[in-house]
A and B are shown apart, each in its own frame.
Chain A
Amino acid sequence: MANNFFEIENVSFVAGGKNKVNNVSLKIENEGEIVCLLGPSGIGKTTILRTIAGLEKINKGKINLKGRTISSENIHIEPENRNIALSFQENSLFPHYNIEKNINLGSDRVKDDKKIQTKEVINFLNLNKILNKFPHEISAGEAQRASLARSLVSQPDLLMLDEPLSNVDQSFKEEIQVELKQILTNSKITTIIVTHDSYEAFYLGSKCGIILDGELKQYDDPYNVYHLPNSVEVVNFLNRGTLIPAEVTSPKSLENEDLGTITGNFVRPFPIGSKVKLLIQPEDLQHDDASNLKLEVVDRKFRGSNFIYTLKTLNNKLIPVFVHSHHIHQHEVDEKFGIKRPIHIDHIVCF
C-alpha cells in the first residue's frame, strides 16, 4: 500500500486532561490537498490542530507526516522540528516586530528556491498599507491576515489554519477565499483548515470532516457531505434540511402523508415497507403555482439570489423550499404555496 502524505490513525485528542475527540482516523493521500474540518464551537477542532502541530501530546494511536511518525504514545517530535505551520485564530503576531518583520520571520527557514513570493502573498492579502505598523495598531481582521501570510511564506509541509477568515469582513472574505485557494493549490501546500462556516469549507476543501459529539462523524468530499450526509447529527449540524416520516414503497419510491409519492434513487437501500426518516433539502422540492399540493407559508428568508420558504404541512412538519429570487412573484406568510408534483429527488437520503 502506498504511503499517504498525512495520516491520523485511531487517535484520541486530549486537551486539559479531557478527551475532546475520540478514535479519529483520517488521511490525506496526496501532497497539496486541502482538507476542512467542520464542527460547532468547543467541540475540539482546535485541539486536533494543536495536537498535529505538536503542541499537545497523544496517548493513543499515531500521526504520520510524509511517512514519518510525528506523534504516538512513545514518540513526540517537538513542534519546532515538524515543519508544520499553524495560523491561530487569535492574534499571535510577535508584538514587538512590525507586520513586515513578522511576515518575513516566516520565510527565514525556507530555502530560496522554494520560497513563495512574499510580495505576492502581501498583495493578495491586502497587507501593503500596514506593513510598517505594529500588531497593536491593526484590526483583528488585519492581524489574522498577517498571521496567515506568515504561515504561508513559511512553506511548511503541512499548513493548518484555525478559522482563518473569521475576523475578515464579509465583503473581503470571498475574494480572499478565491486567492487563498489559488495560492495553496499553486504552491502545493497541504492544508488543514478548521472552520464553522460550511460554505467556506465546501469551497476550499477537497475533503471535509464533520466533527460532532466527540467523534469524526463523516470525512468525505464536500458534495457528498452536503448531499449524502451519513447521519442525522450531520444533517442537523449542516441545518440544511428537515427529516419527515415516510414509508418505503418500492426500490425507487416512498410515500409521505403530506407530500404523497416521492421517487428517486436511494443512497442506501431499505427493505420495502420500512418506516424511515426522509431528508428533504431546500432544493429537493420545486415551486409550482398550478399544483394542487398546497402548503402554508410560515416564514420567508431572503438570501440575495434566492428565497427560502418554510412551509407547514398538515401534520405540522416544517419543510424548506428554495425559490430563485427572480421568480415572478413572492408569497407572503400565511399564503398557500404550491409544490410541483410528482416529486422526484435525485438522491434519496433516509435514516
Chain B
Amino acid sequence: MKFNSWYLSSFLVSFIVAIPILTVFASFFQETTNYFDILKNTFLIEYIYNSLILLLGVLVLTLFLGVGCAYVVSFYEFPGVKFFKWALILSFAVPAYIYAYSLTAFFENFGTLYSIFKSLFGPGEYNQSIPKFDGMLGAILSISFSLFGYVYVLTRASFHYQSQNLIELGQNLGFSKYKSFFKIILPSARPAIVAGLALVAMETLSDFGAVSFFGIATLTTGIYDSWISFDDLAFANQLSFFLLLFILGLFFIENISRKKAQYHSPVKGGIKEKKKIKLNFSKGFLAFGFCFLVFLVSFLFPVLQMLYWTIIFPKNLFDLNTFQLFINTIYLVFLSSVVLVIFSFISNYGNRVTKSKFLNYLTTFSITGYAIPGVILAVAFITFIAWFDNAFIKAFEFNSIKRVFIGSIFGLVIVYFIRFYSLAYNGLKTGYERINRSIDESSYLLGYSKIKTFLGIHVPYLKNSVFLIGILITIEVIKELPITLILRPFNFETFATTAYIFASQDLLEAAAVPSLFLILIASTFILITSKFILKD
C-alpha cells in the first residue's frame, strides 16, 4: 500500500465524515442521568411505537401514490401526461414541515377552508363539519405527500427502462393487462420500489419538523428533547444509537435493492421503445384526474395556501427581511456546495488512484452519514467537539474551541458536509464509473501527471455531474431544518428556520412567507434538474 498524498487526503475526508457516526456508537456506552430509567419505563416505548406507526402509514401511502403515478405516466397516453411526468417531482420542493403548516392552516377552525365556505355560503357553523388533519394522521399525510417522489422517481425509471419485449412476452403468454401488471411489470420493478420505500423510511424516521409540529413523540423528537429539555447529551446519543441501528438496516436494504435494480435495467444496446397505450376519453379523464389530484394535493395545495396567506397578510412579507434570509440561505448553499464538491472530488480520485480496499471500506462507512437524521448528526457533532475540547484543548490549557465549531457557520458547514457527503460522493462516483480506467492510464502515458490528469481530464469531463450535484445539494440545504436550527449562529436565520420558529410560536400566517420563498427557490432548482432526476 502506498501512502501518497492522494491516499492521505482521501483518508482524512472519509475519516472526518465518519467521526459523528463513531461518536454515536461510542456514546452508547456512556453513563447518563436517571432520565434514562424514566424514559425506558415510560417514553421510550411510546417513541418506538409512534415511530413505527408513522413509518407504516407513510410507507403504505407513498407506495400507493408513488407506484400509482409512475405506472399511469409510464404506460398510458392521456392529456397532460408529459406535464405530469415532471410536475409530480415538484413535491420534492415542499418539506414535510411546511406541508404540515399548510394542512393545519387549511383545515383548522376558522382556517382557509372555513373562509372559503363562508365566502361561498355565508357565515355558518362549518368548523364542526371540516375534518381535522392533525396529530399522527397529519404527520403521515404531510410526510407522505412530501416524500412519495422518491418512490415515484425510482419506480418510473424502472418502468421506463423495462423493455417493450417484456410487455410483449406477457401478451404472447396470453396474460391480461391486470395479470401482466402483477406478474411481470411490478415484480421487475420491485427492487426500485423497495429502494424508494427504504429512502422514504429513512427520511420518515429522520423527520423532525413535521412530527414536532404535530407534537408526536418519536425517536427523533426524543433525541432533541432529551438534549434540549433534559440536557442529557449522552441519553440523546443512546436514543440515536437505537434509531441508527434501524436506519442503517434500511440503508443496506436500499443499497442492495438499488444494485438489484441495476440488473433489471438493460445494459448497452438500448431498449425497445415502449408503446404507450392511448386511453379513451373516460379512462383518460380518470388518469388525468388521478395525476392532477396528486399534483394538486402534494404541490399546488401548500403553495397556494402559503401564497394565500402571503397575499392576505402582506405585512408579514414587508416585516420580514427576505433579502437577508435569501443571502443567508444562498451563502450556506454556496459554502456547502463548494466544500462538498471539492472534498468529494479528492476522495473519489484518491479511491480511484490508490485502489485501496481499506479506503474503500472507510468511504462506504462514511457515506452512511446520509442515512443519519440531522438531529443525531448535530448532537453527535456537539458531543465530539465537547469531548475533544475537554480531552485535548483544555488539557493543554489552550482556549476552548467550542465557539469555533458550535453556533458558527464553520460548524454548520461541517455538519452539512457530513450529512450530504454521500450525495456529492455518489454523484461524482456515478460520473467516475463512466470513465474507463484506461483513460487515466492513457493520460499518464501521454505524460500527464496524476494532478494534471485530475484537473485536465476528470474535472472537465465531470462538469455536468458537478452541476447536478451542486443543485441537489442546494435543494437539500435550502430545505434542511434540524442541523441549521441546532448549530446556526445567534441571529442567523434561513427561510427554513424562520418558518419553523414562526410555526412553533403558532404564527402560521407569518411562517407562510419564508415557506413560500423556500418552495419557490427549491422548485426552480428542481425544474433545472428534472431532466437528470427523471433519467436516473
Which residue numbers of A lie inside 8 Å of B, CB to CB?
50, 53-55, 78-86, 88, 90-96, 105-106, 108-109, 147, 150, 154
Contacts and interface: CB of A to CB of B under 8 A. Distances in A.
B435 A105 contact: no
Contacts of A90: 436, 438
Nearest to B434: A95
Given A94-B461, A95-B461, A154 B446 contact: yes
B460 A85 contact: no
A82 B444 CA distance: 10
B96 to A, nearest CB: 39
Contacts of B438: 88, 90-92
Contact of A109 (B434, B446, B457, B461): B446
B122 interface: no
A95 B444 contact: no
Contacts of B445: 53, 79-80, 82, 84-86
Given A86-B442, A94-B457, A96-B461, 7 more contacts: A54-B444, A80-B444, A84-B445, A85-B445, A85-B446, A90-B438, A95-B435
Contacts of B448: 80
Contacts of A81: 447
A54 B442 CA distance: 12
A92 B447 contact: no
Contacts of B441: 50, 53, 55, 79, 86, 88, 92
A78 B444 contact: yes
B461 A92 contact: no
A145 to B, nearest CB: 15
Main secondary structure, interface of B, reads helix
Interface of B: 434-436, 438-439, 441-449, 457, 460-461
Contacts of B434: 95
A53 B461 CA distance: 25
B435 A80 contact: no
Contacts of B449: 78, 80
A94 B446 CA distance: 12
A80 B457 CA distance: 15
B442 A83 contact: no
A173 to B, nearest CB: 22
B447 A80 contact: yes
Nearest to A82: B445
A337 B441 CA distance: 56
Contacts of A88: 438, 441-442
Given A55-B441, A91-B436, A106 B446 contact: yes
A2 to B, nearest CB: 28
Nearest to B442: A92
B250 to A, nearest CB: 34
22 contacts: A50-B441, A53-B441, A53-B445, A55-B444, A78-B444, A79-B441, A80-B445, A80-B447, A80-B449, A81-B447, A85-B445, A85-B446, A86-B442, A86-B445, A88-B442, A91-B438, A92-B438, A92-B441, A93-B442, A96-B460, A106-B446, A109-B446
By Cβ-Cβ distance, the 7 closest A-B pairs, closest first, are A92-B438, A79-B444, A92-B442, A96-B461, A88-B438, A109-B447, A80-B444
A225 to B, nearest CB: 29
A288 to B, nearest CB: 54
Contacts of B461: 94-96
Contacts of B442: 86, 88, 92-94, 147, 150
Most chain A CB inside 10 Å of its own CB: which residue of B441, B446, B448: B446
Nearest to A50: B441
A79 B442 CA distance: 9
B447 A83 contact: yes
B435 A108 contact: no
Contacts of A108: 446-447
Interface centre among A78, A84, A85, A94 (most CB of B within 10 A): A94
A91 B435 CA distance: 10
B446 A92 contact: no
A163 to B, nearest CB: 13
Contacts of A154: 446-447
A85 B445 CA distance: 6
A89 B106 CA distance: 65
A236 to B, nearest CB: 32
